[in-house]
Structure 1
Amino acid sequence: MPVTSRRGLLFGTAAIGAGALLTACTSNEPEAEASTTPRDAADDKPGKRVTIGFAGPQADHGWLNAINVQAKQRAESYSDVTFVPTEGSNDTAVQIGQIDTLINKKVDVLVVLPGDGKALTQAGLKAMRAGIPVINLDRVFATPQAYRCWIGGDNYGMGLNAGRYIGEKLKDKPDAKVVELAGIDNLELTRQRTQGFDDALKTYPNIRKVARQAADFTVESGQAKMAQLLQAQKQFDAIWNHDDDQGVGALRAVDQAGRDGFLMVGGAGAKSAMDHIKADDSVLKATVLYPPSMAASAIDLARALGQSKGISGISEAEIPTQIAVFSAVVDRSNIDTYLPTGFN
């Protein structure tokens, strides 16, 4: 994904969470720039050197790999940032040890995407107590005391927007049926995506969700679970698939079964999904973004913290405590806008 302006990352792809109670100002007019804020608005210029530690899970998934790439590329775009990443791990004990190492190195700011937010909470608390501010990326710690700022995806909004999109497509169809191919059920994010989807469907009394299968965010699980859904449901009108990686397998199952007559909405924004949407060559007609550019924004926030700055576009002298990225729906009507953001 091309490196964009800092304002574009923070306020083009991100919306301030309700807990932050902040309003973004994106005007480029001179009057807007001449704000009476107690900070330097020209925060893209080199400043105090900042060492940013980065700890994330193993990049065994397209989205997670894109997270690592986004963070690294953004850090390298700043001449005043030293980037110290760990080798990603899905083992909680290993990731805690890696964070301990970064704490011992006395990095200025720590960016953490925990494999399990609740399990890594003590590591975040330890860093904060050591005087190292933490940017909690996506999977949230169990307490806000474990981070200075959280930035991540809006999982509820992701499901809500998928449900609204499907609802509008099927609103005039009597007794419409939908199915759901969820992610990993023991993750809170999966439950939030399902809840958002279910809440959206409540406003469409003609639509019923008739089946749900949980997969594991992998191609193989997507194929196996989709095959089960197709076998059990001889007719339905739409499917909400939580993840584009498992969606690759789901589309294979659809092709193998020779099924059509329904639309599929994916999740995350993988390039493979966007290519199908652009070509209009499958049942996949849309995907709901979960943009990995949040990792680049996390580096922006970490640098701002290390340099005691706020962020462009808002009046506050400090960065907010919560930023939730917006889950836009991408279909053929806007695919050209979002296609460059697709990740492998």
Structure 2
Amino acid sequence: MKLKKIMSMLMIAILTLGLLAACASGETGGSDSGKDGIVIGAAMPVFDDKWLSYLYDGIKEYDEAHDDVEVNMVDAKNDAGKQFSQVETFIVQQVDAILINPVETDAVGPMVDAANEAGIPVVVVNRMPDEETMEKIYAYVGSESVEAGTIQMEKVTELLGGKGNIGIMNGTLGQESVVNRTKGNKDVLEKNPDMKLVREQTADYQRSQGMTVMENWIQAGDEFDAIVANNDEMAIGAIMALEAAGKRGDIIIAGIDGTIDALEYVKDGKLNVTAFQDAYGQGKGAIETAIKAVKGEKLESNFINIPFELVTQENVDEYIAKWEK
């Protein structure tokens, strides 16, 4: 805890020096676009992510529909240090609010502290920070990750009749969603002693890595009744590896997010379960909340929940329709 506070203070000091330097050189000020009105700085983790692209659409479409709002969205390329520098730039530019989807939830605290020092409200979206940071932000907009892992594994348990060997694929280690989706999985397993966790490994939320991990498990001779992945992309990778090896059989595959690709896999009977996370709704809700922050509106709670919804072949058409515009 002491080390964390020291690091926070160092990062704030660096930001303060940056602000002083900018002021001395006359480089502070609003957006360079010349658009009047509210300016929001949006620090996003990576643009090259299918599910997150829907979240970005929710933000962009709000921006395009409101002439009095400008969103400056930047790509951290999954680099927490780069994201910190981008937040620093937003502070120097004196944006009206900062919207952050953290590369690493453990690294967002110092960014929030620095923005607060500058009097700029912060909204965090999709990846929930720790309790200490939650107390310092205007709001968090997202879904409850434990809920996703819980309903996902409960359905898998039901499909297996409460008995079977399970492999869990983790997303990018260090992210809140990974910790809590997996916690939801394991909480269900603890209540079902005939459900055995035989393998657990990260596949970094990527389809290609999910395929590689599954190939390694197959080569090791492991026997599975279900593969439960922290997201759909890894689940699809597992399906591809199993099919290529001729071992798909009756293995239950479960993902999370409900991307359009995953929903098509559910419709075709290849992906058995996913938990729909409304990416577009999170993006839209986040930018709307940032505007409320700028206007000084009071919230009843600073946790704005966008609930997960269980998807199977029986109800998948309803969710496919959500992506059709």
TM-score interval, smaller chain: 0.7 to 0.9
> Does 1:337 pair with 2:318?
yes
**Is the CA contact (8 Å cut-off) linking 2:169 and 2:230 kept in structure 1?**
yes
The aligned runs of 1:261-340 (5 Å cut-off) are 261-280=250-269, 282=270, 284-293=271-280, 294-309=282-297, 317-318=298-299, 320-340=301-321
Mapped partners of 1:95, 1:188: distance in 2:
17
Residue 115 of structure 1 deviates from its aligned partner by 0.8
**Is the CA contact (8 Å cut-off) linking 1:182 and 1:214 kept in structure 2?**
yes
Task: Quote the residue 1:24 is aligned against.
Answer: none
Distance 1:233 1:329, change over 3 A: farther
Local SS of the residue matching 2:141: strand
**Is the CA contact (8 Å cut-off) linking 1:135 and 1:298 kept in structure 2?**
yes
Residue 319 of structure 1 deviates from its aligned partner by 5.4
Q: Which amino acid aligns with 1:209?
A: L
Distance 1:137 1:333, change over 3 A: same
**Is the CA contact (8 Å cut-off) linking 1:305 and 1:319 kept in structure 2?**
no
Long gaps (5+) in structure 2 = 1-35
Distance 1:202 1:233, change over 3 A: farther
Distance 1:120 1:203, change over 3 A: closer
> Does 1:177 pair with 2:165?
yes
Residue 145 of structure 1 deviates from its aligned partner by 4.5
Mapped partners of 1:102, 1:319: distance in 2:
27
**Is the CA contact (8 Å cut-off) linking 1:266 and 1:288 kept in structure 2?**
yes
Mapped partners of 1:129, 1:186: distance in 2:
26
Aligned length: 285
Q: Which amino acid aligns with 1:263?
A: I
Cα-to-partner distance string for 1:99-126 (whole Å, 9 max, x where unaligned): 1221122221111112112223212111
Residue 196 of structure 1 deviates from its aligned partner by 0.7
Q: Which amino acid aligns with 1:135?
A: V
- Aligned structure 1 segments of 4 or more residues deviating by more than 6 angstroms: none
Work out which of the residue numbers 163, 167, 174 in structure 1 matches 2:157: 167
Local SS of the residue matching 1:120: helix
Long gaps (5+) in structure 1 = 1-47, 310-316
Which is further off, 62-71 or 266-275? 62-71
The aligned runs of 1:1-344 (5 Å cut-off) are 49-142=37-130, 143-171=133-161, 175-259=163-247, 260-280=249-269, 282=270, 284-293=271-280, 294-309=282-297, 317-318=298-299, 320-341=301-322
Task: Quote the residue 1:35 is aligned against.
Answer: none
Residue 258 of structure 1 deviates from its aligned partner by 0.7
Structure of higher RCO (CA pairs closer than 8 Å, 6+ residues apart): 1
Residue 233 of structure 1 deviates from its aligned partner by 4.8
TM normalised by structure 2 equals 0.80
Mapped partners of 1:231, 1:186: distance in 2:
28
Mapped partners of 2:135, 2:229: distance in 1:
34
Note the aligned Cα RMSD (angstroms): 2.2
Q: Which amino acid aligns with 1:292?
A: A
Local SS of the residue matching 2:301: coil
Local SS of the residue matching 1:67: helix
Local SS of the residue matching 1:119: helix
Residue 223 of structure 1 deviates from its aligned partner by 0.7
> Which structure features the higher share of helix residues?
2
Q: Which amino acid aligns with 1:318?
A: L
Residue 201 of structure 1 deviates from its aligned partner by 2.3
TM normalised by structure 1 equals 0.76
Q: Which amino acid aligns with 1:74?
A: Y
Identity %, equivalent residues: 26
**Is the CA contact (8 Å cut-off) linking 2:149 and 2:182 kept in structure 1?**
yes
**Is the CA contact (8 Å cut-off) linking 2:76 and 2:103 kept in structure 1?**
no
